[in-house]
Amino acid sequence: MGKSAFLTMKLSKLAYLVALACLGCTAAPPPAPEPSSTPTPAPSTKKRSPSNLLTEANKTFIRSKKGRPWLLEALKGRYLDAQQQAQLDNVDWTLSDHDGNKLIRIQAPKAIYRMETELLEFAGGVQARRYDTRDLIKANKMTWSGKTGVLKGSEGVTWDRGKTHIQGDTATTTDKLERILVDGHVKITTVLEEGDPFDTGG
């Protein structure tokens, strides 16, 4: 065997050893992770209604125990999460004392309940009745504040107590309906009973 052939054989063995070394330095790819048996559920995007707003038997009920307890029933309700309010149709609202005695009942075609401010806004032929005296207040719009207990009527108001009828543009009272302030184009009609201090005897 000549020197050139021997040298060529050595070079071939050296190249073979270098190739093996390079293959040993190459990192093997990590094994693929095994699929999880319990996949992580995607976060829910469904909006949740407040706990005091319930819908059953095709009716919406809102119950509040802040201050004096009250209950609102509506034939249709829509909760708007971004505005923190409920839009309601065909509303029947009742305010009670802490013993469960009913104080006032308000009925209206529409209402909005603003949860952060605890404000109820009634609209469209609103009627408010006081249970013990049978006072009746009618207005095109009416608001009640759960924080202050103030009841306001606007856009034409009438107040009937017994045989006395008062009408005006606006009215302000508390949710006890003990005193009422009627303002704007006020008219009063009443029937005096015999013995009334204003009866002139004529």
SS3 of the chain: CCHHHHHHHHHHHHHHHHHHHHHHHCCCCCCCCCCCCCCCCCCCCCCCCCCCEEEECCEEEEEECCCCCEEEEEEEEEEECCCCEEEEEEEEEEEECCCCCEEEEEEEEEEEEECCCCEEEEEEEEEEEECCCCCEEEEEEEEEECCCCEEEEEEEEEEEECCEEEEECEEEEECCCCCEEEECCCEEEECCCCCCCCCCCC
Q: Which of 6-15, 45-54, 149-158, 191-200 has the highest mean pLDDT?
A: 149-158
Cα–Cα distances (Å) from 54 to 49, 50, 73, 158, in that order, read: 8, 8, 10, 33
pLDDT of residue 196: 52
- Give the confidence band of 31 by pLDDT, cuts at 50, 70, 90: low
* pLDDT for the residue numbered 65: 74
Whole-model pTM: value is 0.68
CATH superfamily of 59-190: Lipopolysaccharide (LPS) transport protein A like domain (2.60.450.10)
**pLDDT at 6 > cutoff 50:** no
